[in-house]
RNA sequence: GGGGAGAUACCAAAGUGGCCAACUGGGGCAGACUGUAAAUCUGCUGUCGAAUGACUUCGUAGGUUCGAAUCCUGCUCUCCCCA
């Protein structure tokens, strides 16, 4: 029996949610979220979690299963996803994944290598070093510990450098040693469906959606979460701008304007991320029939699969 | 009616004789990114060109000068003050 994971992806605000519910109903299956911010239950408004009546139509996984206090990562998601999908594939031939977090989707597809867990204190140590001594200092460390990776990293991106350093130090092997870049086999087929549309149209949808979030209480939600502002989960479009407003740094209108702009930029980065993924078949969100047909053709059983 | 200030690229705003196709910010575009990824980071943004470069710009029409966004004059428009 062929098992298939259909991944519906696309930039924020394009209309993944509505379509995913329709598709899930059509194929009588469940939805697995791959939206790294909808995981956090306290952040429902600002991350456009579907309303209850929508969620009730189809069973959803990985929505609100974490608290903003929890540590999470792409590799944790990979593990959680494999466990859940394994169970779900026992009763479904087709599962639907939808969300906008490119790295998390890649993780689910087996595109990130296994790298040992490291103690967070090592990361903290290098983060502190970076803040105290600057980029040059941690760059020098990396040049010594992993000269191979040093040649390819973005040397201005402290997060990249610290990630490599924490691996080098806690495993005793260079970070580049773990980067096999082969991809791991999955026990199911994968169909990637990308949603995209004219940029102007997308931007106007994003702007409108931000207004709707404000109307549904984003400000109040952000106020509730203000005390958690230092948590990584709150380093998110919609919240960080509100926090600046609460600080008195910018006006409410300015905050809303920035949320719109940053959401647009986020959408752009998402599109860039997927632009190099040749496995994605692109559609306009209005092409519902074409998308369904595409899924049906791709999942039709006979014949050797070219995946 | 009188006096004053100003018009700069998509927007805002520097520049006040050569180092100016023009600082900077915004907006936009493009890209990188294998463990907090809605994060983090980079480049471009007058036109043509892959590029050396070529060409056209600083309200507008003239003028001064080897050379003008920068100086002078007329015109148009905007703003402020006095009537």
- Looking at this predicted complex, what is its ipTM? 0.90
Q: How far apart are CA A74 and CA A125, in angstroms?
A: 22
Nucleotide nearest to A76 (CA to C1'): B35
Kindly report the backbone phi and psi dihedral angles of residue A157, in degrees, each rounded to the nearest multiple of 5, phi listed first: -100, 100
Cα-Cα end-to-end distance for chain A: 16
Say whether the CB atom of A197 is under 7 angstroms from strand B. Answer: no
Give the residue among A74, A81, A107, A76 at the shortest CA–CA distance from A96.
A81
Paired tokens of A125: 């140590």
CA angle centred on A151, ends A148 and A155, rounded to 5°: 125
Residue ranges in chain A whose pLDDT is less than 70: 1, 301-307
CB proximity A204–strand B (7 Å threshold):
no
Of A157, A175, A158, the closest CA to residue A166 belongs to: A175
What pLDDT is stored for residue A302 in this prediction?
A: 58
Within 205-224 of chain A, which residues have Cβ less than 7 Å from strand B? Answer: none
Do the bridges between strand A4-9 and strand A280-283 make them parallel or antiparallel, or are there none, so unpaired?
unpaired
User: Rounded distance, CA A45 to CA A289, Å?
Assistant: 30
Asked if strand B contacts A125 at the CB level, meaning under 7 A, the answer is no
Whether CB of A109 is under 7 Å from strand B: the answer is no
CB of residue A137 closer than 7 A to nucleic acid strand B? no
Q: Which nucleotides of B are covered by protein (CB under 7 A)?
A: 26-42
**Per-residue pLDDT at A305:** 46
| A243 within 8 A of A251, measured Cβ to Cβ | no
Query: Does the CB of A243 sit below 7 A from strand B?
Result: no
Q: Does the CB of A73 fall within 7 Å of any strand B atom?
A: yes
């Amino acid at each position: 029996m062929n098992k298939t994971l259909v991944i519906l992806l696309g930039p924020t605000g394009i209309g993944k949610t509505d379509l995913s519910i329709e598709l899930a109903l059509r194929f009588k299956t469940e939805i697995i979220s791959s939206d790294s911010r909808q995981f956090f239950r306290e952040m429902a408004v600002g991350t456009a979690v579907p309303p209850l009546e929508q969620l009730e139509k189809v069973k959803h996984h990985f929505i609100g299963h974490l608290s903003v206090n929890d540590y999470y990562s792409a590799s944790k998601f990979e593990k959680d996803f494999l466990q859940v999908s394994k169970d779900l594939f026992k009763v479904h031939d087709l599962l639907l994944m939808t969300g906008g977090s490119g790295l998390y989707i890649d993780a689910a597809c087996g595109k990130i290598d296994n790298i040992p867990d490291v103690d967070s204190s090592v990361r903290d140590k290098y983060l502190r070093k970076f803040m105290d001594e600057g980029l040059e200092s941690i760059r020098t460390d990396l040049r010594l510990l992993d000269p191979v990776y040093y040649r390819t990293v973005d040397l201005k991106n402290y997060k990249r450098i610290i990630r490599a350093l924490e691996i080098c130090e806690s495993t005793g092997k260079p970070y580049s040693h773990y980067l096999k870049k082969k991809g791991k086999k999955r026990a199911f087929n994968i169909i990637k469906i990308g949603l995209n549309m004219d940029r102007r149209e997308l931007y106007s949808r994003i702007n409108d959606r931000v207004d709707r979030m404000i109307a549904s209480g984003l400000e109040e939600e952000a106020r509730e979460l203000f005390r958690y502002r230092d948590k990584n989960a709150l380093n998110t479009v919609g919240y960080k701008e509100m926090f600046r407003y609460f600080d008195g740094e910018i006006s409410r209108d300015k905050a809303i304007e920035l949320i719109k702009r940053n959401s647009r930029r986020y959408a752009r980065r998402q599109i860039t991320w997927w632009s190099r993924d040749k496995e994605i078949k692109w559609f306009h969100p209005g092409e519902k029939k074409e998308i369904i047909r595409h899924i049906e053709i791709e999942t039709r059983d006979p014949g050797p699969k070219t995946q």
